[in-house]
Structure 1
Amino acid sequence: MNERERAATVRRMAREADPDRAIAALFAPTAVRDDLLALVALNGELARIANQVSEPGLGAIRLQWWRDALVRAEEGEATGHPVADAFGAVLARRKLSRERIAGLIDARSFDIGETVMPDTRTLNAYLFDTAGGLFALSAEIAGAEGENRGLIAQAAGQAYGLVRVMRSLPVLAAKGRTYLAADALERAGTTPQDLFAGRSGPGLSGLLAGMREESRAALSEARFHLHGEGMKGTGLDEAGRTAFLPLALVEPYLNALAKVKDPLRDIARINPLSRLWYLMRAR
């Protein structure tokens, strides 16, 4: 596979894995577009592992393969995997945070080893490493300059990540998994077993309403720091802000989630053309 074929393959894999982030990347400067798509594709490959393996040990082996493959690919060795090779080249060019990349991979150990998010603290840490890590690495790729870049990524990851948790609820619950925190479910008067059995109710509805408000609050915080409102010079430059374009979809998804009749069976969606409009407006 030559470089042009590899790039086309990675773009396709990014679109299939995460259409929202992949489309948002198309609005980034040309010089960083393919690097952002390689990051999206990498995250998609890591996220797929939980559905590909039958036991945690096999998942751990695959995660270790990715750790080793990225090291080899960064050094210029061909791994035979288009995403590993593409992102290895990104690492060589961009010198991205090794801590963030390790967090992105390590967080997937939860996916392959657990079926219930034990508590809110663990959920927040997971969102920090996954959704937040993607925003932080995207900002590095885009060459974001400005104070509070890490703070913005953390708030953005919380806002965007909570939306993903709520949207994935029907699919995961049907498989006997949930990313809703067990302690939050208990306070709401329900349990993971209720979710797996398809039993919804006022408690779950109240919990999800609270999560939507939490997502909105995090979105407001991210936007505040992103644009430097009230703090001269602390916002990000224009190139850096493109790394956070997926935030434009948070509010539309929250509105769609609020209209869902059965949160255990209905997946909140937004119109693809509307998605483009939200992203274009946020540029």
Structure 2
Amino acid sequence: MDDTAPYNLPEWGPLVLSYAKEDQRGALDALLRLDENLARIVRSVSEPALGQLRLAWWRDEILRERAAGSAPPPDPLLRSILDYWHSERSECVALIDGWEHLLFEFPLDDEARTGFRHGRARAFAALAKLAGHQGSAENAASHGEAWAAAELGMMGHETREHTEPLPQLPRDLRSLAIIGGLARRSIKRGGAPLFGDRLSPLAAMRLGIFGS
């Protein structure tokens, strides 16, 4: 079990979750808390090998087959992932793989940057599928990739991706559009945090209403 529990949401997480449909909120909540925890692991370890060990625990526990009727795992975040992601839990592992790329030498090479963006993109595509919007999975992935590009920008890595408008998403996926839109705004502002100024919450609410 990871020793950093309880697992927190990012600063903008509660607002984003307020726009998620009730039956989709659990999966998004688990993803955001997992991502925040992975970020904490990557940023806090002094040796990449130690970070790999901690990430491997999450990867193994998410994919581990459990007998029907077995007791749920004691870790609350792991339990949420297994409850809400079920058929798409391997996409949470893609998120873990993406963060693992950031454990190593800086500046990051193209492979590491691409791997990180791919992890968040796959997670957003999976959220679209869990919500019953398989046809919007590719567009949702674009919003996840923008989120990853913004993260790289906030870490000081040059990024010019996703300054163009992102594809529209169904109203049911408006919460993902908020994250993608805030990420695009972050990139255009030179790597500022998603909630980096007093207008950020207003921008998020506008995205929640209009989707772009």
Give TM-score, length-normalised by structure 1. 0.60
Please state whether the residue corresponding to 1:116 is helix, strand or coil: coil
Give the distance between the partners of 2:32 and 2:54, measured in 1 at CA. 18
Quote the residue 2:177 is aligned against. 244
The letter of the residue matching 2:146 is A
- C-alpha contact (below 8 Å) 1:136/1:153 kept by paired residues: yes
Q: How many aligned positions are there?
A: 203
Contact 1:41 1:83 in 2 (8 A): yes
Q: Which one of 124, 145, 162 corresponds to residue 215 of structure 1?
A: 162
Other structure's SS at 1:136 match: helix
Instruction: Give yes or no for the alignment of 1:144 onto 2:77.
Output: no
SS at 1:51 equivalent: helix
3-state SS in 2 of match to 1:104: helix
Which whole-Å CA distance do the structure 1 matches of 2:101 and 2:193 have between them?
A: 23
Q: Which has the larger radius of gyration?
A: 1
Q: CA deviation at 1:70?
A: 1.8
Q: Which amino acid aligns with 1:157?
A: G
Identity of aligned residues (%): 22
Residues 102-141 of structure 1: CA distance to partner in whole angstroms, max 9, x if unpaired?
Answer: 321122222223332023x541232121x31332232133
* Distance in 1 separating the partners of 2:150 and 2:27: 25
Counterpart contact for 2:147–2:180, Cα < 8 Å: yes
RMSD (CA atoms)? 3.0
Which consecutive residues of structure 1, in runs of 5 or more, have no partner in the other structure? Answer: 1-9, 170-179, 181-207, 227-235, 258-262
The equivalent of 2:26 in structure 1 is 34
The 5 Å alignment of 1:177-256 reads 180=157, 211-212=159-160, 214-217=161-164, 220=165, 222-223=166-167, 226=168, 237-256=170-189
Aligned-pair CA distance for 1:239: 1.8
> What stretches of structure 2 of length at least 5 have no aligned partner?
none
Going by fraction, where is helix more abundant, 1 or 2?
1
CA contact (8 A) 2:174 2:208 kept: no
